[in-house]
Amino acid sequence: MIRDALITDLDEIESIERASFEEPWSRASVEAEFYKDYSHFFVYEENGILAGYIIIWDLGPEWEVVTVAVAERFRRKGIGRKLLDYALILSGAGAEWRLEVACDNEAAIRLYESYGFVEAGVIKNYYGQGRNAFRMLREAVSLRGNEA
């Protein structure tokens, strides 16, 4: 199940964060997300175990996937997809989305592409020297249906 993240989840979130990223966010950076009014922070819990989380920002005209991570032993079970589904439903179909992802992060790029995100440029050294990121964008879903 997906629910709002709580301060009491910080230990588990920190341990997934450290295991998932070469340059993990500090605990203070993660904690700061609880206090930003534009930030939404959700966790996925399976049988009481915190298996993953997502942070998204509602930046007015557009939304941003700030981070999403799933504990290694829970990956490839559809949890990343459930977290993104939840975020996209929250924003509504009319929202535009953006994100940055490391150019070598094939799993995440495949996941985002499957939701219609497309590459819109490279940001050099975004994650440190020699570690580039793709900017990816997702347009608002047309509510008018297919035009013949």
Ligand X SMILES: CC(C)(COP(=O)(O)OP(=O)(O)OC[C@H]1O[C@@H](n2cnc3c(N)ncnc32)[C@H](O)[C@@H]1OP(=O)(O)O)[C@@H](O)C(=O)NCCC(=O)NCCS
Which residues bind to ligand X, rule: CB under 6 A? 20, 67-70, 75-81, 101, 105-108, 110-111, 114
| For ligand X, the closer CB: 91 or 105 | 105
| For ligand X, the closer CB: 118 or 142 | 118
| For ligand X, the closer CB: 4 or 46 | 46
Least distance between ligand X and beta carbon 28 (Å):
20
Least distance between ligand X and beta carbon 40 (Å):
16
Q: In what order do the strands lie in the sheet with 2-4?
A: 2-4, 39-46, 49-58, 62-70, 96-102, 133-138, 118-123
Helix, strand and coil in the chain, % to nearest 5: 30, 35, 35
